[in-house]
Structure 1
Amino acid sequence: MDAPVNRPLFALALRLAAVAVLATLTMTVKYTVEAGVAFTEVLFWRQVLTIPLLYAWLAYRRQTARLRTERLPVHCRRALMGAAGMGFTFGAPVLLPLAEAVTLGFTTPIFAVIFSALILKERIGPWRWTAVAIGFSGVLVIARPDGHLPLFGALVGLGAGLMVALISIQVRDLTRTDEPLAIVFWFAALSSPLLALFLPFHARAHTAEQWLLLGAIGLLGCAGQLLLTASLRYGQVASVIVMDYSALGWALLYGWAIWGDVPAGATWAGAPLILTAGLIIIWREQVVLRRRARAGTVGATPG
């Protein structure tokens, strides 16, 4: 398989779509747990439904060969970390209001910039450092730390930011050899047996509404993972991950519509900073790189 092709604008669009789908997934997970379904069972159905969905679609198209991989040990490691990461990522909004959980998750770009430089050896220059700093400043304005968040919930939220950054690095590496479909499939196939170990202790009979919610979680999870993985194939981690800030808008919308959470004034003060971070990335990728390409100096300095 060819190495990932850098298509910055396409990668950003894929990431924005992934964030929208995954924000809806997060809301559905929170709602489902509050509806009486055990958290571990939610995680299991989030994963296991992806396996038949992807395989049936590829079998229909006679393309199951796209699932072949020569890096199964790497997929196993990604499955272990991914299962833990899901626990943090979905655990935070279960323990905290959506806006606070998403805000803590915005530490991901800080970790991602460091990890992409150390692990992927990507050159991180002033534009992306500046975008991350501006975006995180907006997060701090919105968060208004006041010490009222539960300590365990806050730690889970920070753990989610760290794990997403680490997993993004792994996915970026896997896209160098494997297709996004294969990466998503093997993550589901290898993590589902691990999550199934918890079912005898937590699984219960469900109502029709609960089964519908679990089915929606499986569909949203599959679609979100495909979009997320594809974004890392076409763009650098430290660039596309800044688009994750848009999840705050979805969290605010869902929090208000479903749980009656009303955005505070600090939200409107911090939102422009977060939006500016995304605009800086788009400008850097589309204008600066094209200018350097015309000058024949692409890659001369990091952006």
Structure 2
Amino acid sequence: MTEASNGEQGQNQPALAATLTLAASAFAAGTTLLAKALGTNTLGPALNPLQISHGRFLFAFMAISLVAMIMRPKFTKPALGLHLGRSTLGWGGVTLMFAAAAFIPLSDATAISFLNPVVGMLLAIPFLGERIGIWRWGSAAVAFAGALILVRPGSGAIELGAVLALAAALCLGGELIFIKLLARREKPFQILLVNNAIGLTISSVAVFFVWASPTPAQWLALAGVGVLMAAAQACFVNAMLRAEASFVAPFFYTTLAFAALYDALVFSVLPDLISWLGASLIIGAAIILVWRESRSRQDN
């Protein structure tokens, strides 16, 4: 059997891909839940978002390094410049997202974070030379309208948490450009390991200025953030290897449902009508974008 046919066989497992993506969604929402607990007074004195993101990279790097020692994968020379750009934006996006979770419902923060593929699409115009058609522009407009609703500008004061989540989406959208460039050069596991190593370095410098001794419960939560994030990344990468991106992506939007469920169970916070309206516009726009991308590849 040829390498090509092996790849095709690997991408013909939609049920497993959907299951892995749902697991990734549950894990990703879990990291935001723990970040909210750490950023409020739930587990002790609130920790700075810089310290929470440090815990995320520290324990994720430990988990991924353990897997690397067991699997012993082959590595190639990394494109350090691209990795540095990707990791800096990723660290910034994660830190801002964790900060947002302390101020607004998890469902709102999660919905706004779904803007990142739209931001990545727009940034691909100048940086990757991609052309944007009417469908892409339309989905971008609808998504940003949803974000504007979640910012709640007519409530008398713009929600700080929503602004932080929007900034996170911008950073994560920029990160997608670097991920696309890296994916052409290196294997997913190498990208994941190098990303977490650089992210740990950046976050270790940043946390020096805000460090506070965590309580035992906070240490467990910090470990949970890192391990759950590593698990989410691993599940999502494996899902992408087993089905087309256009099939996998919509399942990842169930992260919003998990976030709303966790918020309701732990913090007794329920999304209001504005939350559902804004989230529906963003997710609807993202799904349309994925569908259109799939049609474009079929036409070509």
Q: Work out whether the TM-score is over 0.5.
A: yes
Q: Is the 8 A contact 2:24 2:236 kept in 1?
A: yes
Offset, 1:117 = 3.0
* Alignment match, 2:35: 29
Matches within 5 A, 1:214-293: 214-227=222-235, 245-267=253-275, 276-277=284-285, 280=288, 283-284=291-292, 288=295, 292=298
CA distance in structure 1 between the partners assigned to 2:172 and 2:121 by the alignment: 12
CA distance in structure 2 between the partners assigned to 1:97 and 1:268 by the alignment: 11
Q: TM (normalized to structure 2)?
A: 0.76
Higher alpha-carbon deviation: 33-42 or 157-166: 33-42
CA distance in structure 1 between the partners assigned to 2:212 and 2:278 by the alignment: 42
Q: 2:55 aligns with which of 38, 45, 58?
A: 45
Q: TM (normalized to structure 1)?
A: 0.75
CA distance in structure 1 between the partners assigned to 2:123 and 2:22 by the alignment: 22
Paired residue type of 2:180: R
Q: Deviations over 1:266-302 (max 9, x none)?
A: 455566655654654565466x468x5xxxxx32xxx
Offset, 1:170 = 0.8
Q: Deviations over 1:77-133 (max 9, x none)?
A: 222222222222222112333233234334334322211233233444444444445
User: Is 1:69 matched with 2:58?
Assistant: no
* Alignment match, 2:187: 179
Paired residue type of 1:28: L
Paired residue type of 2:63: L
* Alignment match, 2:118: 110
- The Cα RMSD (Å) is 3.8
Q: Is the 8 A contact 2:116 2:170 kept in 1?
A: yes
Offset, 1:33 = 2.3
Flag the 1:285–1:201 CA change in 2: closer, same or farther, 3 A: closer
Q: Is the 8 A contact 1:106 1:244 kept in 2?
A: no
* Alignment match, 2:199: 191
Determine helix, strand or coil for the equivalent of 1:74: helix
Offset, 1:171 = 0.9
What are the ranges of 5 or more consecutive residues in structure 2 without an aligned counterpart?
A: none
Q: Deviations over 1:236-259 (max 9, x none)?
A: 7x9977766543323322222222
CA distance in structure 1 between the partners assigned to 2:55 and 2:183 by the alignment: 25
What are the ranges of 5 or more consecutive residues in structure 1 without an aligned counterpart?
A: 293-297
Paired residue type of 1:94: A
* Alignment match, 1:169: 177
Q: 1:146 aligns with which of 133, 154, 169?
A: 154
CA distance in structure 1 between the partners assigned to 2:172 and 2:59 by the alignment: 22
User: Is 1:160 matched with 2:168?
Assistant: yes
Q: Is the 8 A contact 2:146 2:279 kept in 1?
A: yes
Flag the 1:282–1:222 CA change in 2: closer, same or farther, 3 A: same
* Alignment match, 1:210: 218
